[in-house]
């Protein structure tokens, strides 16, 4: 079974104290991020974004919860050593630095579980979370409806919203109990967690497209403008945000924010290219003798499918699933409308349903 993967990630960056925490989301590149099992199609023109997301390859499997596998990417350890050391001497023992760093990722993980569980609730697929130095990536594939997308995205930051009163209460209790004097390390830890959670929330809600806020904006625009145009608008706004973030990184002289900005820029660009690809599909003539067994939309006429073997683009409905370049036969076809993969034999119905892109 091929997985339509959509990375949803949280990330953080922090060199200065209080630790700067942030979380972001790559675009809804269901097609661009398609991992290619042998002999499956991806939409041609969708393979536009470099594969910069961490995968479970090169990762350690930590555990499974609610049927979701949690992985830790190897690079996490490298950056963790740096991250823990750069926390400096806020505490009397390095053990607190380690605990703080681990708790940061625990909050990120809870955020990702928010996305994953919400995605499942609306009937989507979510079975993997990968933690890496920039945070976490929840691989979710919500149904292609704006409401389902909106809930899957909003549920992540809502975890941080729910944690806000919890951390506020602990801070208040600690302050009342005089931890500042009696338990300074614990008090500092509690205060830092409050900052981490709050900054994660604020950063994620920035309306810069690949970030949660940008994807929420995109989902809202989807109700009015449709799938392709909403992505076009949201990723265009994203570029403005990225420019602001780059300026901020230069002003703050923060390498981490610079790396984040670059990462957002790449994903924002991917979103824009995907929106253009969607528009191309939407404007293409149709194969009227075929219909997607899931969404009932007739497939576009044109070289929109890529051979998994030789990478040449071709029209699978014209060639009955045979790559004209290398002769490989494909038994299933990918629907650019709804993102499902279905056997060729199931597509042979006529349809009058217009594309909704």
Nearest distance from C-beta of residue 314 to Zn ion, angstroms: 8
Decide whether 100 or 337 has the Cβ nearer to Zn ion. 337
| Residue in 284, 309, 322, 356 binding Zn ion, rule: CB under 5 A | 309
**By C-beta, is 117 or 335 nearer to Zn ion?**
335
Work out how close the CB of 239 gets to Zn ion at its nearest, in angstroms, rounded to a whole number: 20
Under the criterion CB under 5 A, does residue 118 sit at the interface with Zn ion? Answer: no
**What gap in Å lies between CA 332 and CA 37, rounded to an integer?**
12
> Can you tell me which of 323, 332, 333, 357 binds Zn ion, judged by CB under 5 A?
323
CA geometry: angle at 46 spanning 45 and 52, to 5°?
130
Q: How far is CA 184 from CA 75, 90, 189, 191, in A?
A: 32, 10, 8, 11
Which tokens go with 35?
A: 């991992």
Sheet containing 68-73, strands listed edge to edge, beginning at the edge strand earlier in sequence: 7-10, 135-141, 125-132, 68-73, 59-65
**Interface with Zn ion (CB under 5 A), residue from 169, 247, 310, 353:** 310
**DSSP class of 91:** S
Round to whole Å and give the CA distance between 20 and 144. Answer: 33
Q: What is the 3-state secondary structure (H, E, C) of 123-159?
A: CCEEEEEEEECCEEEEEEECCCCHHHHHHHHHHHHHH
List the interface residues with Zn ion, window 204-243 (CB under 5 A). 212
Task: Spell out the residues 6+ positions from residue 227 whose beta carbon is closer than 8 angstroms to its own.
Answer: 144, 146, 278, 356, 357
Q: Which of 173, 224, 326, 331 binds Zn ion (CB under 5 A)?
A: 326
Q: Which stretch binds Zn ion (CB under 5 A): 3-11, 99-107, 218-226, 262-270?
A: 3-11
The window from 180-188, 218-226, 229-237, 328-336 that contacts Zn ion (CB under 5 A) reads: 328-336
Give the count of residues interacting with Zn ion (CB under 5 A): 16
Q: How many CB atoms lie within 10 A of CB 190?
A: 18
Residues 120-139: x where in contact with Zn ion by CB under 5 A, - otherwise, as a string = --------------------
Binding mask 261-300 for Zn ion (x = CB under 5 A): -------------------------------x-xx-----
Contact 108, 200 (CB under 8 A): yes
Cβ nearer to Zn ion, comparing 190 with 292: 292
The candidate with the shortest Cα–Cα distance to 236, out of 199, 210, 204, is 210
For residue 53, the minimal CB distance to Zn ion (Å) is: 14
For Zn ion, the closer CB: 91 or 304: 304
Positions touching Zn ion (CB under 5 A) are 10, 156, 212, 292, 294-295, 307, 309-310, 323, 325-326, 328, 335, 337-338
């Amino acid at each position: 079974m091929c997985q339509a993967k959509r990375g949803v990630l949280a990330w953080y960056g922090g060199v200065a104290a209080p630790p700067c925490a942030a979380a972001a989301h790559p675009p809804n590149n269901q097609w661009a991020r398609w991992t290619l099992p042998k002999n499956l199609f991806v939409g041609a023109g969708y393979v536009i974004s470099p594969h910069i997301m961490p995968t479970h390859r090169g990762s350690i499997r930590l555990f499974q919860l609610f049927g979701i596998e949690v992985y830790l990417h190897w690079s996490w350890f490298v950056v963790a050593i740096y991250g823990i050391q750069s926390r400096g001497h806020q505490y009397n023992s390095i053990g607190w630095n380690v605990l703080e760093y681990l708790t940061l990722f625990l909050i990120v993980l809870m955020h990702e579980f928010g996305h994953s569980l919400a995605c499942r609730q609306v009937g989507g697929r979510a079975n993997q979370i990968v933690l890496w130095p920039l945070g976490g990536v929840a691989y979710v594939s919500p149904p292609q409806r704006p409401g389902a997308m909106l809930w899957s995205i909003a549920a992540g930051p809502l975890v941080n919203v729910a944690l806000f009163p919890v951390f506020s209460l602990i801070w208040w209790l600690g302050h009342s109990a005089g931890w500042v004097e009696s338990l300074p390390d614990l008090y500092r830890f509690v205060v830092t967690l409050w900052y981490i959670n709050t900054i994660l929330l604020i950063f994620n809600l920035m309306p810069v497209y690949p970030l949660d806020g940008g994807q929420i904006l995109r989902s809202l625009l989807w109700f009015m403008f449709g799938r392709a145009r909403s992505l076009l608008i949201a990723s265009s706004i994203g570029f403005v945000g990225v420019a602001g973030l780059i300026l901020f990184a230069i002003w703050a002289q923060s390498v981490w924010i610079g790396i984040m900005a670059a990462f957002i820029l790449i994903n924002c660009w991917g979103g824009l290219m995907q929106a253009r690809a969607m528009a191309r599909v939407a404007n293409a003539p149709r194969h009227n003798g075929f219909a997607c067994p899931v969404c009932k939309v007739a497939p576009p006429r044109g070289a929109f499918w890529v051979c998994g073997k030789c990478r040449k683009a071709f029209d699978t409905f014209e060639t009955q699933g045979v790559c004209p370049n290398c002769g490989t036969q494909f038994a299933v076809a990918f629907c650019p409308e709804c993102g499902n993969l279905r056997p060729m034999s199931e597509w042979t119905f006529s349809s009058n349903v217009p594309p909704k892109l």
